[in-house]
Chains A and B, each alone.
Chain A
Amino acid sequence: MEINLSDDEKLFLIAGVEADIRNDGRSCQDFRTIVLERGVLSGTNGSCRVQLGQTTDILTGIKLELESYDSATEKEAKQPMQFHVDFSANASSQFAGKGGDQYGEEISAAFQVAYSRSLDIMSNLSKTHLAEGYRWKINVDVSVLQWAGSIPDAISLAVIGALSDLEIPEVEVAPDDGGKVSIVLKRPRIGGNVRDEEVPVQMWRLDVQSCPLLLTISKIGTANLVDCSPEEECCIRSQLLIGIAKSVSTPGNDTYQTTCIKQLGGGLLEMESIENMIEMAQKTSIGLYEALAKRLKAEEKRKPGHSFLL
């Protein structure tokens, strides 16, 4: 999406945010309306769609893969998630063809970093390691359907949504040749001699309450903003991508940790500004985590046969 603002328009916008009034009526720390919906793609193992306002639209799907690896060469447990971000040409004509690849890779890399310690922060993720040499691989594929700013923020919400939606089959591990094992899907209701596929598989879900959020905090003039619109993004002096993870080590007394910081675009920042921006990110994330948890709890599974587009 190409936005062309004249200098006067930019000045108006900058002066506005410095006075904590944004062009669309929000204040600096306000998010647009967030719509989060899960279970939107039945072919995936878990999926989520997130809209920021009416204009940023993210679709995330997770595909599980039973992966075998060489346990001799891989001593350390590996983080099972792989991120891939894809920009649809619907989002902006600049993403047509391979236009979105570089930006996509940049964001995928940021998520890879933010989730690099996922085995520590997600309490039951280690269960994806099934046996010596076998594990579930979680492929998180993100499609950006509409692009109107704050893409990382929206993606991080959609990823958490999809992870919470993800159903992983329980398996039974049986010994096999040469000290190896064979993996069998766990079907608790055996018997009756029906074909295997007809018998449901027992599933389990990941604990997502401390998955990291990725927030973009932008500096416009002297003000710090969250959730910028495309017009605001034209005026940014500098932007930080800050990863925040909620730590639930002591119940009721949650702490919030910064898991990564990455500067997006150009510009220079003073040390003090960075601290202010991190502080803002942490403050924002508290509210966001709360809203998210509430939403994930309250949301019913989408009724089958009804398209999420309706």
Chain B
Amino acid sequence: MDLNVKQSGIHSCVPHVSYFKNRSGKVYKRAAERYLRTDLPCGLAQCAACKDFGKNPLLKTENPVKNSLVGRHVLIVDSTSLIRFYDLFDSELLRNIIVTQTVWEGVKAKAIPAYKKINALCYEEALDRFHVFMNEFHFETFSEKPKFEDLSRGEELLISTVHYLAAHWEQQNVIPVVLVFDDDSKQRIKKHYENVFYLKEYIQNIESPGKQALLDQMAAYENSGSANEKQIFDEYLSHDKIMEGIANGSIKRGTFSVSRENYREATVIIDDQLNSWFITGSNCNRSVNGDVVAVQLLPESRWTCPEKKIRLRDVEEYVKTADDMGNEEDDADDEPKAKKSKKNTVPTAKVVGIIKRNWRQYCGMLLPSTVKGAKRHLFCPAERLIPRIRIETEQAEILSQQRIVVAIDHWPRDSKYPLGHYVRSIGEMGSRETENEVLLLEHDIPHAPFSEAVLDCLPREEWEPDLSENRGPLPRVDLRHLTICSVDPLGCTDIDDALHCKQIGDDLFEVGVHIADVTHFVRPGTAIDDEAALRGTTVYLCDRRIDMLPCLLSSNLCSLRGEEERYAFSCIWTMTSSADIQSVKYHKSLIKSKAALTYEKAQEIIDDPKETDDVAQGLRGLMKLSKVLNARRTGNGALTLASSEVRFDMDWESRTPKKVMEKQHLDTHSMVEEFMLLANISVAEKILQEYPDCALLRRHPVPLKESYKPLIEAARHRGFEIIVESGKGLADSLNRCVDTKNPMLNRLLRMLTTRCMTQAVYFSAGTVPVPQYQHFGLACAIYTHFTSPIRRYADVIVHRLLAAAIGADDIQSGLLNQAKCTKVCANINYRHKQAQYAGRASVQLNVVRYFKGKVETCEGFVMGVRNNGIQVFVPKYGLESIIVLQPGSDTAIDVEEMAVKVNGEAVIRELEPVTVRVSVNEKNQQRPRVELQLLKPAIPGLSVDFDLSSSEGLGL
């Protein structure tokens, strides 16, 4: 009947049936055979019966640690003890331990950190103290049928094993002792086996002074609470309930935005007045940055306040290495402890539902996994506001060296991380192309080569201007006779503006701004126009430029190159020497630039008295007028703001950064800027007058008074007062903030001011009240963008509007449609913002590349003081990083005073200079990062830093 040929120690075969539910919700029955064996080693060194079966390390040498409860014994631990107290088992006081297979599997399934510990102990570190007993394959210890109904299944299997071992070792004078987690379990097991102790009881009776350390260690765990809830998050309300709540006002909807400083905190703006609710910890309830969520206010007793603590995922991982399955990486101490300070609570809410997910595909990399051959991995998105994503993959070995794209599928209630899947690989981690690709993808920048359809729209390369086809009510004017020149940065190939100035009478000047006539080539409704509208802007990375228009136009036919005839859109004023504008006219033109100058060259010409040709005279005239214009603008309250941007001088052969360019400010910079502003304002006035409902304008909202708070605070600590009642007041008070001891102070305050403000945006006239048209930063009532149509799509629209307004071109369909204009604005605002972020990220990328193998000592400034560290800005490289403070005995951080104190004395205060050492930390090969170390003032504890200014993972 039984055809089975037994060649090894098989005793019998039992069918083993188990039921389980998989991740996608299917329920399975698994029926498998299990062959029980007779040749599994019990682990005891003296056991003659088992000595041929394998290594038997237990009691090879007599146990030097005695226990008053029991004589010569071997410990058999339960899985709960291992899961909760795995660190205790490092101790040499716990010896001769059997880990049963059931316990082993249980620990592996329930708690990965514990499993890793036990694995290391049993198979690497403490071979002589541990033995794994394969009880589920042993014919005497495994039974499918329940034997002891009053015990849990785990206890039952443990007891079966102990009963067997007790009988098996009867001759050896060894007592198997069951070590369980708590007294309850002990009492249950006691009915079936007498030698059972709970962990604490056992340790208390160890006859060794070292036990106190173990007991202390236990005490630390005991408070952490054993409630191991399966469901981590609350369920979402149903759609109907949410809608009902929104209708009656108890629930608000808004966009979930995670704090850049602390990933456990987020805010949701709940109304038009920009009031926001604060959300923290598990109240975020599986929301991902950018989701539209439904939030409900918590009772006031549960309100908290932001921790003022820097929490970045990579900072935390710096301490405890990333865990590939760490569901159980318990958060007991992670819950914000903000409760203790009750005074500054803010309205705190919880997320009760998701209205719209903002999930997209994310670039990033796999976190290195410590369990070999594991299938489930954690993915770390490059965007640091996005949580880790759990994915399953078989090819982790290969992917671990690559940048990959991952999509989120869903986020179940019982999972700490959202679940996703691998989409594709971008390329080798660390290569310049891959990192650039990541950067472009992450910022959603369209960067594919131009399509055939787009290229078909281009004119022939040998295109020449032709005035003969010049018809229409306002024909193109031939301005080739004028002395026009352009002034741009070195190496600029897309020259979209040129200037001229000519004295035409006593105290009367003709000044012209000539802008590349892009709309002559880019006609509405063509493929090239659609593509430009989609791209919205040209994106400048350190080592690459992603054009809005194909190269033929942007660098050649539209570019106003020297000594070449080009079509332009001219704006010509007549003004007096005090820059009073007498008249202004707009028309299309044909120009021939006499010289394409750089800022430096133009400055040289102006300054050199020997230069007396037309170009020099024109430039001098422009310079004089620009100074008048600038003085008038500043007088109106225009702000001079500072940013932290830097530029790299690239080695174009290898595309690596050679050095940071010192940005030198020349008068010619502001000369060109003034006339561009003037042109923009003039054009804005013209198109608004003509099309009050659909003109594309640019506005900069007046900031709320409250948003200046960080600036006012920072200045107050330095002894200055900032007036925020008006733009003029702000500009003047900023001008007064000069500290002779700290020359950077003024620039830093201006940087802070920038951060208090929202960004300027494009909008369609008629969509906001007229007073809100104003541009706060430039202190003018209306403004638009006209002067850079080669690299900005907004200017292309404005060109069309102006051409239509003056009759130089037909009014194209859709041009005068407010809804369409609003749509265009939304896109170019988005693209513009993304392009800025991408540019900054590119700089950060190159900073890391630049510092590879270099160490430099720089001056930095403290931009912020947080509970656990300081934010330091290094102007030379535009770097902003956090130096984390590890609390020392005499070092304290006072967030109220914005100072770090050593022995009660403030040694670091906000906005004050510090000396830092900049280097690249390559400890993590996959993710090297720029590291700052505080050199002066030296404070014990302030050591490690983390780069705040770049997205994590983008570091080369």
A residues contacting B by CB (< 8 A) are 42-45, 64-66, 68, 169, 174-180, 182-185, 189-201, 304-306, 310
Q: How far, in whole Å, are A176 and B27 apart by their CA atoms in the complex?
A: 18
Query: Given known contacts A66-B26, A169-B19, is B105 in contact with A195 (CB within 8 Å)?
Result: yes
Closest residue of chain B to A198 (Cβ to Cβ) is B153
Closest residue of chain B to A136 (Cβ to Cβ) is B27
A44, A179, A194, A200: the one within 8 Å of B79 (CB)? A194
Query: Given known contacts A194-B79, A194-B157, is B105 in contact with A182 (CB within 8 Å)?
Result: no
Report yes or no: B1 in contact with A306, Cβ–Cβ below 8 A.
yes
Q: How far, in whole Å, are A178 and B353 apart by their CA atoms in the complex?
A: 7
Closest residue of chain A to B149 (Cβ to Cβ) is A189
State the Cβ distance, B179 to closest chain A Cβ, in Å. Answer: 14
State the Cβ distance, A45 to closest chain B Cβ, in Å. Answer: 6
Apart from A64-B29, A199-B153, A200-B153: 16 A-B pairs, beta carbons within 8 A: A177-B235, A177-B236, A189-B146, A191-B155, A192-B78, A192-B151, A192-B155, A192-B158, A193-B78, A193-B106, A193-B107, A194-B79, A198-B18, A198-B105, A198-B153, A198-B154
Report yes or no: A304 in contact with B15, Cβ–Cβ below 8 A.
yes
Residues from chain A with a CB closer than 8 A to the CB of B15 are 42, 304-305
Residues from chain A with a CB closer than 8 A to the CB of B241 are 179
Q: Is B102 an interface residue (CB 8 A)?
A: yes
B17, B102, B105, B240: the one within 8 Å of A42 (CB)? B17
Residues from chain B with a CB closer than 8 A to the CB of A194 are 79, 102-103, 105-106, 152-154, 157
25 CB contacts below 8 A, A to B, read A42-B31, A43-B31, A66-B21, A176-B235, A179-B241, A180-B238, A182-B412, A185-B20, A189-B152, A192-B78, A192-B106, A192-B151, A193-B79, A193-B83, A193-B106, A194-B102, A194-B105, A194-B152, A196-B20, A198-B18, A198-B154, A305-B2, A305-B13, A305-B14, A305-B15
Report yes or no: A178 in contact with B239, Cβ–Cβ below 8 A.
yes
Residues from chain A with a CB closer than 8 A to the CB of B18 are 197-198
**Of residues B2, B29, B413, which shows the largest number of chain A Cβ atoms within 10 Å of its Cβ?**
B29
Report yes or no: B27 in contact with A191, Cβ–Cβ below 8 A.
no
State the Cβ distance, B640 to closest chain A Cβ, in Å. Answer: 51
Residues from chain B with a CB closer than 8 A to the CB of A44 are 29
Q: Is B663 an interface residue (CB 8 A)?
A: no
Q: How far, in whole Å, are A117 and B891 apart by their CA atoms in the complex?
A: 79
Q: How far, in whole Å, are A43 and B19 apart by their CA atoms in the complex?
A: 11
Query: Given known contacts A43-B31, A306-B1, is B25 in contact with A201 (CB within 8 Å)?
Result: no
Report yes or no: A185 in contact with B154, Cβ–Cβ below 8 A.
no
Q: How far, in whole Å, are A121 and B15 apart by their CA atoms in the complex?
A: 35
Query: Given known contacts A189-B153, A193-B83, A198-B18, is B413 in contact with A176 (CB within 8 Å)?
Result: yes
State the Cβ distance, A155 to closest chain B Cβ, in Å. Answer: 23
CB-CB contacts of B141-180 with A at 8 A, as 1s and 0s?
A: 0000010000111111110000000000000000000000
State the Cβ distance, A305 to closest chain B Cβ, in Å. Answer: 6
**Of residues B105, B146, B153, which shows the largest number of chain A Cβ atoms within 10 Å of its Cβ?**
B153
Report yes or no: B231 in contact with A174, Cβ–Cβ below 8 A.
yes
State the Cβ distance, B375 to closest chain A Cβ, in Å. Answer: 16
Q: Is B237 an interface residue (CB 8 A)?
A: yes
Q: Is B361 an interface residue (CB 8 A)?
A: no
Query: Given known contacts A66-B26, A193-B107, is B1 in contact with A177 (CB within 8 Å)?
Result: no
State the Cβ distance, A170 to closest chain B Cβ, in Å. Answer: 10
Report yes or no: B102 in contact with A183, Cβ–Cβ below 8 A.
no
Q: Is B80 an interface residue (CB 8 A)?
A: yes
**Of residues A176, A183, A189, A310, which shows the largest number of chain B Cβ atoms within 10 Å of its Cβ?**
A189
Q: Is B110 an interface residue (CB 8 A)?
A: yes
Report yes or no: A192 in contact with B19, Cβ–Cβ below 8 A.
no
Q: How far, in whole Å, are A197 and B34 apart by their CA atoms in the complex?
A: 15
Q: Is B398 an interface residue (CB 8 A)?
A: no
Residues from chain B with a CB closer than 8 A to the CB of A195 are 105-106, 108-110
State the Cβ distance, A200 to closest chain B Cβ, in Å. Answer: 7
State the Cβ distance, A60 to closest chain B Cβ, in Å. Answer: 16
Report yes or no: B109 in contact with A64, Cβ–Cβ below 8 A.
no
Query: Given known contacts A185-B21, A198-B102, is B110 in contact with A192 (CB within 8 Å)?
Result: no
Q: Is B30 an interface residue (CB 8 A)?
A: yes
Closest residue of chain B to A203 (Cβ to Cβ) is B19
SS class of chain A's interface: helix, strand, loop or mixed? loop
Residues from chain B with a CB closer than 8 A to the CB of A196 are 20, 109
State the Cβ distance, B14 to closest chain A Cβ, in Å. Answer: 7
Q: How far, in whole Å, are A178 and B158 apart by their CA atoms in the complex?
A: 42
Query: Given known contacts A43-B31, A66-B27, A182-B413, is B19 in contact with A201 (CB within 8 Å)?
Result: yes
**Which residues of B30-48 are within 8 A (CB) of A?**
30-31
State the Cβ distance, A178 to closest chain B Cβ, in Å. Answer: 5
Report yes or no: A45 in contact with B20, Cβ–Cβ below 8 A.
no
Residues from chain A with a CB closer than 8 A to the CB of B155 are 191-192
**Of residues A45, A65, A193, which shows the largest number of chain B Cβ atoms within 10 Å of its Cβ?**
A193
Of all A-B residue pairs in the complex, the 9 with the closest CB atoms, nearest first, are A192-B154, A179-B238, A192-B152, A195-B109, A177-B236, A193-B79, A194-B154, A191-B152, A194-B106
Report yes or no: A183 in contact with B105, Cβ–Cβ below 8 A.
no
Residues from chain A with a CB closer than 8 A to the CB of B353 are 177-178
Q: How far, in whole Å, are A175 and B413 apart by their CA atoms in the complex?
A: 10
B26, B78, B83, B238: the one within 8 Å of A178 (CB)? B238
Closest residue of chain B to A45 (Cβ to Cβ) is B29
Q: How far, in whole Å, are A194 and B108 apart by their CA atoms in the complex?
A: 9
A43, A68, A192: the one within 8 Å of B80 (CB)? A192
Q: How far, in whole Å, are A185 and B83 apart by their CA atoms in the complex?
A: 23
Residues from chain A with a CB closer than 8 A to the CB of B231 are 174
Report yes or no: A197 in contact with B20, Cβ–Cβ below 8 A.
yes
**Which residues of B429-464 are within 8 A (CB) of A?**
none
Residues from chain B with a CB closer than 8 A to the CB of A184 are 21
Q: How far, in whole Å, are A176 and B1 apart by their CA atoms in the complex?
A: 52
Query: Given known contacts A178-B237, A193-B107, A193-B154, is B21 in contact with A183 (CB within 8 Å)?
Result: yes
Q: How far, in whole Å, are A193 and B153 apart by their CA atoms in the complex?
A: 9
Closest residue of chain A to B2 (Cβ to Cβ) is A305
State the Cβ distance, B12 to closest chain A Cβ, in Å. Answer: 8
Residues from chain A with a CB closer than 8 A to the CB of B236 are 177-178
Report yes or no: B79 in contact with A192, Cβ–Cβ below 8 A.
yes
Residues from chain A with a CB closer than 8 A to the CB of B26 are 65-66
Q: How far, in whole Å, are A44 and B105 apart by their CA atoms in the complex?
A: 26
CB-CB contacts of B210-244 with A at 8 A, as 1s and 0s?
A: 00000000000000000000010001111111000
Q: How far, in whole Å, are A310 and B3 apart by their CA atoms in the complex?
A: 12
State the Cβ distance, A227 to closest chain B Cβ, in Å. Answer: 32
State the Cβ distance, B104 to closest chain A Cβ, in Å. Answer: 10
State the Cβ distance, B11 to closest chain A Cβ, in Å. Answer: 13
**Of residues A44, A195, A199, A200, which shows the largest number of chain B Cβ atoms within 10 Å of its Cβ?**
A195
Residues from chain B with a CB closer than 8 A to the CB of A192 are 78-80, 106, 151-156, 158, 185
State the Cβ distance, B109 to closest chain A Cβ, in Å. Answer: 4
Q: How far, in whole Å, are A201 and B431 apart by their CA atoms in the complex?
A: 52
Residues from chain A with a CB closer than 8 A to the CB of B29 are 43-45, 64
Residues from chain A with a CB closer than 8 A to the CB of B237 are 178-179
Q: How far, in whole Å, are A304 and B25 apart by their CA atoms in the complex?
A: 30
Residues from chain A with a CB closer than 8 A to the CB of B105 are 194-195, 198
State the Cβ distance, A163 to closest chain B Cβ, in Å. Answer: 16
**Of residues A45, A189, A191, A194, which shows the largest number of chain B Cβ atoms within 10 Å of its Cβ?**
A194
Closest residue of chain B to A175 (Cβ to Cβ) is B235
Q: How far, in whole Å, are A184 and B21 apart by their CA atoms in the complex?
A: 8
Report yes or no: A304 in contact with B14, Cβ–Cβ below 8 A.
yes
Report yes or no: B239 in contact with A193, Cβ–Cβ below 8 A.
no
Report yes or no: A310 in contact with B154, Cβ–Cβ below 8 A.
no
Closest residue of chain A to B146 (Cβ to Cβ) is A200
Report yes or no: B107 in contact with A64, Cβ–Cβ below 8 A.
no
Q: How far, in whole Å, are A200 and B17 apart by their CA atoms in the complex?
A: 9
Q: How far, in whole Å, are A169 and B31 apart by their CA atoms in the complex?
A: 15
Residues from chain B with a CB closer than 8 A to the CB of A176 are 235, 413
**Of residues A42, A65, A169, A177, which shows the largest number of chain B Cβ atoms within 10 Å of its Cβ?**
A177
CB-CB contacts of B104-127 with A at 8 A, as 1s and 0s?
A: 011111100000000000000000
State the Cβ distance, B10 to closest chain A Cβ, in Å. Answer: 12
Closest residue of chain A to B79 (Cβ to Cβ) is A193
CB-CB contacts of B238-282 with A at 8 A, as 1s and 0s?
A: 111100000000000000000000000000000000000000000
